[in-house]
Amino acid sequence: MGGIKRFCHTYLFRMLMVALGVSTLCFLAVEYAPGDRAVDVALARYGEDVSPQAVEYIRMSEGLQNHPFYRYRLWLGSLVRGDWGRSLVGGEKVTLLLTTAFRRTALLALFALGLSLVLALPLGIYNGCHPGSLVDLCSAGLSGILCSFPPFVTGIVLILLLSIRWRMLPVAGFSSPIHMLLPGITLALGLAAGSCRVTAAAVLQARQSPHYAFARHKGLAGRSLFLPHGLRNAAPPVITYLGLQTAGLLDGVVVIETLFAWPGLGNLLLDAVRGGDILLVQGAGLLLGWIYVTVNSLAEYFADHFASQEKRGCP
């Protein structure tokens, strides 16, 4: 199938581009960033009172003095070999930090997605079947407003309400599953706002289509009408949208993790950037970039697949 082959080509190409892009940028950041890298690391590692010897020690031990091109080759080489280095600050292996953080982010993201679907799909289907109803108009208004809130604003409002005012949920931390609720709900609300609208629109469009009318004229009704001719046709744009949402989830995740101190990939990347921990920045950036490429490419693939289904008269 030509489609799959082309998909693989594009996908691999993009992964490569992201890898090259991120690693080159990180390399350049090391080389040309303002200030002395060795000093930054020393400060991050040892605090304010750091001696010149410590700085020099770091400079030597981290090899921060060789020629740029040579170091670039070494840089790329170690990346390819799978040696992504150690955190300049804490010393742990980058790959280890990444895997732990990834698991946590994945947990949060999946929870948020799942919750958003539970919220959005039934509501969206109902709205598509009863357009113009009170529920439809209210949820449209609410979704519109929610969409305009930056994720951290929704999060803050939720914190103010649920944590501070009503003392229902803990704000930050990671020790128990309940800590996942507040960040998860924050993300889920933003996601649900979009998917609810899209689902409603898709269901409405399916129900207003000529083939839905024909199916009714054939004598079908109830579930045997709605499921194969309504939902089945509404599914592709919704799935496409969900794919795009998942890709965009990445941006939201970084911010939400910071707000709620959820120790995932986003938080890791941010700490790394702040601490000048360049190898960690590279690792986290790469991983996040690859996740993005994967989700995005899959979403595009399905979008094309569904789009081709809509083409008529093209054998």
Partner 1 sequence: MPMNSERRGALLLLASLGAFLVLLFWISGDPFTQNLMERLKESSREHLLGTDHLGRDFGARLARGGRNSIFLSALCVFASGMIGTGLALLALGKGKKTETFLLFLTDTVMAFPGIVLALVLGSLTGGGISGVIIALVFTGWPQYFRMARSLLKKLWETPFVEAGRLAGFPLPVLFWKYVIPELLPTLGTMASLGWGKTILEISSLGFLGIGLAPPEPELGAMISQGLTYMRSTPRLVLMPGILISLFVLALLLLGRGGTHTKVSKEMFSHEDPSCNK
Partner 2 sequence: MKTLLAINDLSIFDEAGLPLVRDISFSIVEGSALFLVGETGCGKTLISQAVAGTLPPRLTPRGSIPFRGRDLLKMPQKEREALWGRDIFLLPQEPFSALNPVLSVHRQVREIFSRVRGEKKSTSREKTHRLFASLGISREASFEEPRKLSGGMAQRALLATALASPAPLVLLDEPTKGLDSSSKESILLLIKSLLENRKTLLCITHDLSIPLEIGGDTGVLFGGLLVEFGKSRELLSHPSSPYTRGLLNALPERGLHPIPEELIQHMERAWNL
Region near partner 2 per CB under 8 A, out of 50-58, 107-115, 223-231, 247-255? 223-231
According to the binding rule CB under 8 A, does residue 232 interact with partner 2? yes
CA geometry: angle 74, 76, 79, nearest 5 deg? 105
**Alpha carbon 181 to chain centroid distance?**
18
CB of 244 to partner 1, least distance (A): 8
Tell me: does residue 314 bind partner 2 (CB under 8 A). yes
Which of 144, 224, 251, 274 touches partner 2 by CB under 8 A? 224
Q: Which is nearer to partner 1, 55 or 288 (CB)?
A: 288
Nearer to partner 2, 13 or 214 (CB): 214
The pair phi, psi for residue 86, each rounded to 5°, is -120, 155
Smallest distance, partner 1 to C-beta of residue 219, A = 28
Q: Which does 142 bind (CB under 5 to 8 A by kind): partner 1, partner 2, none?
A: none
Nearest approach, Cβ of residue 315 and partner 2 (Å): 5
What pairs with residue 93 in β-bridges? Answer: 86
Q: Give alpha helix (H) positions in the chain.
A: 2-32, 37-46, 52-61, 68-81, 94-129, 134-148, 151-158, 181-207, 210-218, 223-226, 232-259, 265-275, 278-310
Backbone phi and psi for residue 93, each to the nearest 5 degrees, phi listed first: -70, 135
Q: Where along the sequence are the contacts to partner 1 (CB under 8 A)?
A: 10, 13-15, 17-18, 21-22, 25-26, 28-29, 32-35, 131, 140, 144-145, 147-153, 156-157, 159-160, 164, 197-198, 200-202, 204-205, 237, 240-241, 244, 247, 250-251, 254-255, 258-259, 269-270, 273-274, 276, 278, 281, 285, 288-289, 292-293, 296, 300, 303-304, 307, 310-311, 314
Closest CA to 143 of 202, 187, 190: 190
Nearer to partner 2, 51 or 224 (CB): 224
Residue 248 C-beta: closest distance to partner 2, Å? 26
Shortest separation between residue 300's beta carbon and partner 1, angstroms:
5
Largest CA distance in the chain: 86
Taking CB within 5 to 8 Å according to partner kind, which of partner 2, partner 1, none is near residue 48? none
For residue 43, give Cα distances in angstroms to 1, 17, 32, 137.
Answer: 56, 33, 19, 55
CB 178 within 8 A of CB 267: no
Distance of CA 75 to the CA centre of its chain: 27
Least spacing, CB of residue 72 vs partner 1, in Å? 15
CB of 307 to partner 1, least distance (A): 6
Which two structure tokens, joined as six digits, stand for 209?
């289509």
| CA nearest to 29, candidates 275, 290, 292 | 275
Considering only residues 105, 233, 246, 267, which one is a binding residue for partner 2 as defined by CB under 8 A? Answer: 233
Contact 31, 68 (CB under 8 A): yes
Question: CB 203: neighbour CB atoms within 10 A?
Answer: 26
Which residues contact partner 2 by CB under 8 A?
210-211, 214-220, 224, 228-229, 232-233, 236, 309-315
